[in-house]
Chains A and B, each alone.
Chain A
């Protein structure tokens, strides 16, 4: 708070300096030009220059004063803030143990900060979350709807830390906010709230709503992925829900496929394999990479993965080589050997050689298939 006030004051000082500088330099240049071309000036000689010096000097002195005072005051404020945090930590501990101290209706920022810190380390977070919800609901809603971008971001972070899922409709609505930073934070927050919900119908409904809004939120791929993973136990259901969308955003498809691979969701393998023939090369690549991470390729997609080993997209080819290890068919080994021998890309060749080194003598698929076939 203090810092933000200090920044606002400094911004005003800078703006004033720019404005005064514009005025003083304009007066100086005009006066000088009129005087040197022999015309009359409205100021005595040197007066415009003295004005510019006065403004520059006063500005410099004001800045030096502000910097020094700000430095000293922020040190005092910081100490006071630390004391306030400590006092609130004690109050929360007392509340947990004895349920004794009464609380003001409007909690100060230090109280909320310490309470959230408490919730991250103390087990009884549901009670604390309910408490924080009662005390701050109106203030948070006000900040989310009418606050500045900074306030919105801070509030979303606080809500996600508390896991108060009755804020979910608001946070879902904010996932289509014009500012991408707010959209991203709202997606993170919504994901955390969905992840904090107990299993049941309410969570299923929330997952459906979240998936629908996520598909329309136009976020970067990795932010999508973060949002999917932040839902924790709800992630498999959410990813499945996203992958069956008829008109899926390409970035969210990639994110969902990568998340499925990362989480090892083998049950989703048939769903993932449906994307192996996707028209977008990055989606194809993400799908085959996910199967390689799952260490499982559904048998009816063996041929598709083998075809991807000669895909025009180099990254897809490399990912397909990794997946071929789990395609138990002699052709897979031949494809790998061919890629290692005379493929056009050095990167594909290096990947194939590395994989062959790992598979030869090991228990992995193609080698075993060749051996058993032989």
Chain B
């Protein structure tokens, strides 16, 4: 009987790599499929809970938790007037808007002073002393809107600006929003309701959707349209996946790791207890949520962090690869910085599902995925050269990767059709399905490479944002 000759060490290594990549791919895709299923269940249950009719009846009773909107702004002179107008026109019985100009070098403060008739209030405003931020240079109130406060401070980054706003917030709930975002008029109503119905809720993340191509008037979204360019359309699908598969899926198993910085509502008390945002990371949104989990788990206080599937916030997404790469680079660094600084939570049963499922998943399938995928791309020709990989097999495997990715996107798009139906025209649906087919050709590889590079820039670029160019709402 012939026994096969033993393989040389390099080939053994390649074989092990092959098996690892295959298992990695299988587990990753199965997890995404499972998360989509969980996400669907979460959204279906959410939709059954409270009808709009009943919600309106209850709102007439005027029972609510007042909210402070925290709006950090840096060089936003083009968009700030429309954004603040959109925030001030939200349907909610009691809220205040705190805009913080974080050392803007353009006319952000000047345009606000003119548009909202601001006057300086000196040091009259009370504040929470345990929140630290860069010096506040001037504080303003508005003659036309009693619920508008504007702060001008030294530049300290987005997290520092959010801390400044948090420091001056008066209400039980605080809502962090990006200055360039447009909120749905019912955004606060829907999210604040989740705090009313369950007193253990400490944070609620909302669904963010791309705004590009839509018609916005007076800071309100009038008509949702698909963006014109391919790169923006691909991001519509990405956001569908991120929110209906990612956020909703994790929320279903009570292990949500991220609340988007563009829109999130938090219990002010919980925020004050953890000292507000961490200013040393560019991923202040994910870091905040991880720290909230950590704090409440350690204190053994029952708490919940939820996701609101209603489309609450519309944001301008990058329309060029240059800006998109910069954004994804920052996201990847923010994720890695957070996971690294809270690495003690990983595989730590003290932190429950967060420690045992969410954190390991984020390490393996989000933080390190660029390295593994890039190795996979490099590995195929090498294995082929060594004759340990069948060409047909490699080609079929790549085909499987693409088809499975498309299928996962369709699963998320299906949830959008069933539950949200925000693109009512059939041609929009068909367009999105066709765009999904092309996502894997160029878009994915470019972003993969950027995320790969970002991993090597984590320490060198710690805390650096990079400029985001705004076109301004049309």
A residues contacting B by CB (< 8 A) are: 3, 6-7, 10-11, 13-15, 17-18, 21-22, 25-26, 28-29, 32-33, 36-38, 45-46, 49-50, 52-53, 56-57, 59-60, 63-64, 66-68, 70-72, 75, 149-150, 153-154, 157, 180-181, 184-185, 188, 220-223, 225-226, 229-230, 262, 346-347, 349-350
Contacts and interface: CB of A to CB of B under 8 A. Distances in A.
A83 to B, nearest CB: 19
A11 B44 contact: yes
A29 B196 CA distance: 48
B239 interface: no
A14 B40 contact: yes
B429 A67 contact: yes
Contact of B126 (A13, A184, A350): A350
Tell which of A3, A21, A149, A188 has the most Cβ of chain B within 10 Å: A21
A71 B429 CA distance: 9
Contacts of A225: 63
Tell which of B30, B63, B433 has the most Cβ of chain A within 10 Å: B63
The bracket for how many chain B residues form the interface is 35 or more
Nearest to B21: A32
B441 interface: no
Given A346-B126, A350-B126, A46 B23 contact: no
B207 to A, nearest CB: 18
B280 interface: no
Nearest to A25: B26
Tell which of A14, A22, A66 has the most Cβ of chain B within 10 Å: A14
Tell which of A11, A52, A67 has the most Cβ of chain B within 10 Å: A67
Nearest to B23: A29
A25 B124 CA distance: 64
Top 9 A-B residue pairs of the complex, sorted by shortest distance between their CB atoms: A25-B26, A350-B126, A60-B407, A150-B48, A63-B410, A346-B126, A56-B403, A222-B196, A56-B404
Interface in B50-82: 50-51, 53-54, 58, 61-65
Given A17-B33, A33-B19, 11 more contacts: A29-B22, A32-B19, A36-B15, A46-B396, A49-B400, A50-B396, A53-B399, A60-B407, A63-B414, A153-B49, A157-B53
Given A67-B433, A70-B418, A220 B199 contact: yes
A67 B40 contact: no
A275 B41 CA distance: 44
Contacts of A10: 40, 414-415, 418
Nearest to B415: A10
A188 B58 contact: yes
B418 A7 contact: yes
B63 A57 contact: no
A67 B22 contact: no
Contacts of A70: 417-418
B392 to A, nearest CB: 6
B18 A36 contact: yes
Contacts of A38: 4
Contacts of B23: 29
A27 to B, nearest CB: 10
Nearest to A66: B414
A36 B33 CA distance: 27
A365 B125 CA distance: 26
A60 B196 contact: no
Given A29-B26, A220-B197, A347-B126, A49 B410 contact: no
Contact of B61 (A11, A59, A226): A226
Contacts of A21: 29-30, 33, 404
A37 B16 CA distance: 9
A67 B419 CA distance: 12
B417 to A, nearest CB: 5
A279 to B, nearest CB: 20
B9 to A, nearest CB: 15
A45 B393 contact: yes
B413 interface: yes
25 contacts: A7-B44, A14-B40, A17-B407, A21-B33, A25-B30, A28-B26, A29-B22, A33-B22, A49-B393, A49-B400, A50-B396, A63-B413, A68-B426, A70-B418, A71-B417, A153-B48, A153-B51, A154-B51, A157-B51, A180-B197, A185-B54, A188-B54, A347-B126, A350-B124, A350-B126
A18 B40 contact: no
Interface string B15-37: 10011001100100110011011
Classify the interface of chain B: helix, strand, loop or mixed. helix
A68 to B, nearest CB: 7
Interface string B419-430: 100000010011
Contact of A6 (B41, B199, B400, B418): B418
Contacts of A262: 62
A53 B396 contact: yes
A230 B414 contact: no
Classify the interface of chain A: helix, strand, loop or mixed. helix
A14 B37 contact: yes
B410 A157 contact: no
Interface in B388-446: 388, 390, 392-393, 396-397, 399-400, 403-404, 406-407, 410-411, 413-415, 417-419, 426, 429-430, 433
A346 B403 contact: no
Contacts of B110: none
B29 A229 contact: no
B101 to A, nearest CB: 23
A32 B18 contact: yes
Given A14-B36, A49-B400, A56-B404, A230 B61 contact: yes
A223 B196 contact: yes
B410 A181 contact: no
B393 A346 contact: no
A2 B414 CA distance: 16
B230 interface: no
Contacts of B63: 222, 225-226, 229
A53 B25 CA distance: 13
A184 B197 contact: yes
Nearest to A50: B396
A46 B390 contact: yes
A60 B403 contact: yes
Contacts of B393: 45-46, 49
A67 B410 contact: yes
Nearest to B37: A14
B423 to A, nearest CB: 10
A66 B53 CA distance: 30
B114 interface: no
Contact of A149 (B48, B61, B415): B48
Contacts of A63: 407, 410-411, 413-414
Contacts of B344: none
A7 to B, nearest CB: 5
B340 interface: no
A66 B410 CA distance: 10
Contacts of A71: 417, 426, 429
A59 B58 contact: no
B49 A37 contact: no
A347 B30 CA distance: 52
